[in-house]
């Protein structure tokens, strides 16, 4: 039997597993990225990959996390809603820094706009996320093949954050 | 390389369309309408990626007659969870397509990844799944 298929009930029809289809997709695409790995399997960055656009994206990612810290400090009642999003930005910064073979920049603080109430704080964050999503989208289109998936995932995460902030 | 990446994404879109057919049958009202709209988006994207593959001289991937579901789907709650899984799955496929594509094909893959990730978030909310978002939506296991 073909790997990834199994027989369906009475009809005897081969039924490809929905999740196995996507797993096969990942395996197929992953094979193409192996050339970018070093002897021990770690991905290395090349000088040409570390563009100003990506280092700017990394700095802006750190700043986004700091903006959420400022928002939570300003409106503590939003902590449950915002902490996961803040942590996602921190995870993005770590992953991006690792991919670029650089250290995570130290945050220089946040200049979160908006008033002291929840609606204006959420609106200010939504504005930052929109800008951040667009920047990550552009960076993904310009990125090397090795970095495109990570940067694209960051753009997608920011689009999802906007759903939570609305 | 681009054709291989697109063919894999096409296979995932076929699976999602099948899955939405199952989910839609167990939904009613606004959620059923949302599922039908989402299925329509996947059909349009399937057609778009198939066209790109053909333009580049690649062979299309045919849809399977049926797909095994990740869990039994017998009611509204199951259907919403399935819809979330379908979008997470296609988001993953399009994420992987990013590093095998460039220019317009990468743009297609990126927009698809973003759209699928947002739809997954909406379905996770509809299904009451927490958290609503994950740090890497194209890498959801």
Q: For the segment A139-162, what is each residue's pLDDT rounded down to a tens digit?
A: 999 999 999 999 999 999 999 999
Contact A22 B93 (CB under 8 A): yes
Q: How far apart are CA A26 and CA A15, in angstroms?
A: 19
Query: What 3-state class would DSSP assign to B135?
Result: coil
Please name the member of B8, B64, B117 whose beta carbon is closest to the beta carbon of A25: B8
Closest listed residue to residue A2, CA positions, set A17, B82, B37, A40: A17
CB contact under 8 A, A18 and B122: no
* Cis upstream peptide for B54 (omega within 30°): no
Model confidence pLDDT, tens digit, residues A54-74: 999 999 999 999 999 999 999
Identify the closest residue of chain B to A164 by CA–CA distance: B132
Interface contact B3, partner A, CB < 8 A: no
Phi, psi angles (nearest 5°) of residue B28: -135, 165
- Mean local confidence (pLDDT), A13-42: 47
When CB atoms are compared, the residue of B92, B106, B125 closest to A22 is: B92
Token pair belonging to B3: 């054709």
Complex confidence, ipTM? 0.96
> CA separation (Å) from B51 to A21, B58, B101?
21, 10, 15
Size of interface A-B (CB pairs under 8 A): 163
Closest-CA distance of chain B to residue A41, Å: 18
List B residues 33-92 in contact with A (Cβ-Cβ < 8 A): 64-70, 85-86, 89-92
First to last CA, chain A: 48
- More confident call, A116 vs B42: B42
Mean pLDDT of chain A: 81
Per DSSP (E only), the strands in chain A are 5-7, 14-17
pLDDT at position A37 over 60? no
């Amino acid at each position: 039997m073909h790997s990834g298929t199994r027989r369906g009930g009475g009809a005897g029809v081969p039924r490809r597993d929905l999740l196995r289809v996507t797993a096969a997709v990942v395996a197929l695409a992953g094979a193409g990225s192996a050339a970018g790995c070093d002897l021990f399997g770690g991905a290395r960055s090349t000088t040409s990959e570390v563009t100003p656009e990506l280092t700017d994206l990394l700095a802006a990612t750190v700043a986004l996390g700091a903006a959420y810290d400022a928002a939570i400090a300003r409106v503590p009642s939003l902590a449950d809603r915002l902490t996961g999003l803040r942590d996602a930005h921190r995870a993005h910064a770590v992953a991006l820094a690792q991919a670029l073979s650089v250290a995570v920049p130290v945050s220089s603080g946040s200049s979160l706009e908006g008033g002291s109430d929840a609606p204006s704080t959420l609106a200010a964050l939504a504005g930052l996320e929109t800008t951040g999503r667009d920047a990550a989208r552009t960076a993904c289109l310009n990125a090397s093949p090795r970095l495109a998936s990570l940067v694209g995932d960051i753009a997608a995460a920011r689009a999802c954050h906007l759903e939570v902030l609305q | 390389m681009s054709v291989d990446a697109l063919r894999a994404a096409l296979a995932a879109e076929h699976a999602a369309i099948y899955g939405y057919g199952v989910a839609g049958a167990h939904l009613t009202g606004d959620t059923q309408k949302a599922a039908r709209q989402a299925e329509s988006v996947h059909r349009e994207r399937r057609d778009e990626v198939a066209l790109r593959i053909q333009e580049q001289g690649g062979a299309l991937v045919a849809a399977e007659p049926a797909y095994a579901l990740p869990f039994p789907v017998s009611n509204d709650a199951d259907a919403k969870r399935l819809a979330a899984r379908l979008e997470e799955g296609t988001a993953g496929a399009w994420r992987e397509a990013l590093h095998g594509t460039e220019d317009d094909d990468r743009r297609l893959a990126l927009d698809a990844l973003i759209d699928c990730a947002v739809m997954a978030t909406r379905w996770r909310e509809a299904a009451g799944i927490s958290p609503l978002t994950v740090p890497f939506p194209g890498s959801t296991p």
